[in-house]
Amino acid sequence: MQNGLCAPCLAMPPQHDGIAAATLYNDASRQLVLAFKHGRKIALAPMMAKQIAARLPQSDDHWLVVPVPLHRVRLWRRGFNQSALLAREIAGIRGGELIVDALVRKKRTPSLGGLGRKARIRALTGAIGTASQWRGRLQGSCIVLVDDVLTSGATSDACVAALKRAGAKKVIVACFARVADESV
């Protein structure tokens, strides 16, 4: 790390304005994430969100809280968007305005698990955009983008790019667990 930036960020500066991660992705956090996301243990959302919220910077800005979107087919199959559950809790804790549908996943993408960064970027090309009804509200806004896990950053990068194209002033990525392996 140099000046608070990791090696990948030094090589390719991010569009986001910081990352707030509750914990590193390890065996313990992996078990929690899998239980939450695939084991349908949605009661874990408040505890996970409290840990994320504790890592967010203090600010006088009014923040919009926006979850990473799921494609409608994945949402239908899973029955919930884990990022939206975390975002709802974070908005309640921090007093931000929750906008669940500010971002849309316009095309189905394969599960990104097991894919490297380049493959993830390819899969996400053109997949995420902003909902037209929120574009005016996103203009000039400060946003907390919420996801459960930050792996390579490809998903958050696609979301941040869409939010910045819509005129967002500042976007902080908030996640429960962050993968520390810089080779991902």
Q: What stretches in the chain show pLDDT beneath 70?
A: 1-9, 12-13, 110, 112-115, 181-184
Q: For the chain, which domains are there?
A: 15-178 (3.40.50.2020)
What three-state secondary structure class fits 174?
A: strand
Q: What is the DSSP letter of 37?
A: H
Q: What is the pLDDT of residue 89?
A: 98
The pTM of this model reads 0.88
CA 169, 64, 51, 26 torsion-angle sign: negative
What secondary structure does DSSP assign to 36-102, as a single string? HHTS--GGGHHHHHHHHHTTSPP-SSPEEEEEPP--HHHHHHHSS-HHHHHHHHHHHHHTPEE-TTS
